[in-house]
């Protein structure tokens, strides 16, 4: 009679009437459990997924709550045992349960001889409940150094980090350098030095996170422009990547925390033509040589003249689709010539030097590059989403 058949019968039906019979029956169960486990280990697995599948099948067979073999032993042997046999059955059953715990933590990487080195400490009384702790089991688990170790899966760079590094690499090749600054910024550097007046709507509480009346969470990376001018003077060629914060309600295209890259070039005889040529080169390097750029007039307090940059739709090639709203163009960044007052605030003479600047959202570029329709996916730490971008 197999173990599966025996666990469906009571001890009386099996003819087990004394303590010796109970010990022999549970020894047979432990032997069967160990044999099945050893057979699966000997069989091996071609991959981690297959190994986990085999391990789960073994655990379910023995430990499943409804149809597991231990559940049937509890119902058929322990709960129906005669009063004089119940203490012996209970001690052996608890020992078996503790030995079977190895199946919970093992991914079939080691053969643990179940039933060896088991010491049972007898108790003076035993509860009728199957969950009562009436025995104390200790087990020595021999280690096999010849078995392969458990390999932890490697992670990868976040998609926003990947696209940020691509952008940085393009501008590093053009001779720019990377500059950084504080994320908790003074009102002076975040607004005043950038020629943003107190009446500007961006300075309202509903648009900006204020730490106090003179300190904010920076709303853009532009404050680093002033800090870099004060630190290095001119000429100056920098890009400024980093986190920014605005009082936006989270939705598919907005987040209160986002990533931005600002670019700044200051030198003698810098013109808008230099800006257009640089950004056109950048767009082609990032999205492909077929990309076209378009500049339209706009307004920003810290640049004059100012413009919005659009690129031909990377999804339809400029023919018109739902992404570009049938226009064939996607707006990607703002830019312009640095306002003379901003140069003065940075300690640079606008009569001698001129410059241009641009700002782009790294998250939006990542959404375009990888065809992602919800910016919130970047911040939810969902491994199923992030593992798609592993190298």
Kindly give, in sequence order, each residue whose CB lies less than 8 Å from that of residue 117, ignoring residues fewer than 6 positions away.
Answer: 138, 139, 140
CA pair distance 104, 55, nearest whole angstrom: 9
Q: What is the mean pLDDT of residues 115-136?
A: 39
Q: What is the DSSP letter of 150?
A: P
Give whole-number Cα distances, 263 to 109, 171, 288, in Å. Answer: 53, 9, 21
- Please tell me the predicted confidence (pLDDT) of residue 303: 94
CA pair distance 47, 228, nearest whole angstrom: 53
Report which of 289, 290, 288, 281 is spatially closest to residue 309, judged by C-alpha positions: 281
Q: What is the DSSP letter of 239?
A: E
CA pair distance 130, 117, nearest whole angstrom: 23
Evaluate whether 298 touches 307 at the Cβ level (below 8 Å): yes
* CATH architecture designation of domain 159-389: 2-Layer Sandwich (3.30)
What does the mean pLDDT of the chain come to?
Answer: 84
Q: Report the run of H or E that residue 32 belongs to, with start and end.
A: helix 19-43
- Please tell me the predicted confidence (pLDDT) of residue 106: 46
Cα first-last separation, the chain:
54
- Please tell me the predicted confidence (pLDDT) of residue 103: 64
Query: Which tens digit of pLDDT belongs to each residue from 183-210?
Result: 999 999 999 999 999 888 888 878 899 9
- Please tell me the predicted confidence (pLDDT) of residue 145: 77
Q: Is the pLDDT of residue 131 over 50?
A: no
b (16+ CB within 10 A) / e for 45-59 = beeeeebeebbeebb
- Please tell me the predicted confidence (pLDDT) of residue 30: 86
Query: Which tens digit of pLDDT belongs to each residue from 132-157?
Result: 444 444 455 567 777 777 777 777 89
Evaluate whether 320 touches 326 at the Cβ level (below 8 Å): yes
Question: Would the pTM count as exceeding 0.85?
Answer: no
Q: Is the pLDDT of residue 324 over 90?
A: no
Q: CATH 3.30.930.10 in the chain, residues?
A: 159-389
Q: What is the DSSP letter of 207?
A: T
Scan for tokens 């500049």, then name that residue: 295
- Please tell me the predicted confidence (pLDDT) of residue 121: 37
Burial class (CB in 10 A: 0-12, 13-18, 19+), 91: buried
Q: How far is CA 65 from the centre of its chain?
A: 33
- Rg of the Cα atoms in the chain: 35
């Amino acid at each position: 009679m197999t173990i599966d058949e025996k666990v469906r019968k009571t001890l009386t039906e099996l003819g087990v009437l004394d303590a010796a019979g109970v010990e022999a029956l549970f020894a047979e169960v432990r032997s069967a459990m160990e044999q099945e486990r050893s057979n699966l280990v000997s069989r091996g697995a071609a991959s981690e997924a297959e190994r986990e599948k085999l391990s789960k099948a073994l655990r379910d067979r023995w430990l499943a709550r409804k149809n597991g073999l231990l559940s049937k032993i509890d119902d058929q042997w322990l709960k129906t045992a005669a009063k004089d046999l119940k203490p012996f059955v209970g001690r052996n059953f608890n020992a078996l349960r503790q030995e079977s715990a190895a199946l919970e933590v093992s991914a079939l990487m080691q053969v643990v001889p179940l039933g060896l080195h088991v010491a049972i400490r007898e108790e003076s009384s035993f509860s009728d409940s199957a969950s009562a702790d009436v025995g104390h089991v200790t087990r020595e688990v021999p280690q096999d150094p010849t078995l392969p170790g458990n390999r932890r899966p490697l992670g990868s760079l976040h998609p926003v980090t990947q696209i940020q590094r691509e952008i940085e690499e393009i501008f590093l090749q053009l001779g720019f350098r990377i500059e950084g600054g504080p994320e908790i910024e003074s009102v002076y550097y975040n607004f005043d030095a950038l020629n943003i007046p107190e009446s500007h709507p961006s300075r309202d509480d509903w648009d900006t996170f204020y730490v106090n009346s003179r300190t904010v969470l920076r709303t853009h990376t532009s404050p680093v422009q002033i800090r870099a001018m004060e630190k290095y003077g001119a000429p100056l060629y920098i890009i400024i990547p980093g986190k920014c914060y605005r009082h936006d309600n989270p939705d598919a295209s907005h987040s209160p925390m986002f990533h931005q890259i600002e670019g700044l070039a200051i030198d003698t005889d810098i013109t808008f033509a230099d800006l257009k040529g640089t950004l056109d080169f950048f767009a082609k390097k990032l999205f492909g040589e077929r990309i076209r750029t378009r500049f339209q007039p706009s307004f920003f307090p810290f640049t004059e003249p100012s413009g919005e940059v659009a690129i031909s739709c990377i999804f339809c090639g400029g023919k018109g689709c739902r992404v570009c709203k049938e226009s064939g163009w996607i707006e990607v960044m703002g830019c312009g010539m640095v306002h003379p007052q901003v140069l003065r605030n940075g300690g640079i003479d606008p009569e001698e030097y001129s410059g241009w600047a641009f700002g782009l959202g790294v998250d939006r570029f990542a959404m375009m590059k990888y065809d992602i329709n919800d910016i919130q996916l970047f911040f939810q730490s969902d491994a199923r989403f992030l593992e798609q971008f592993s190298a």
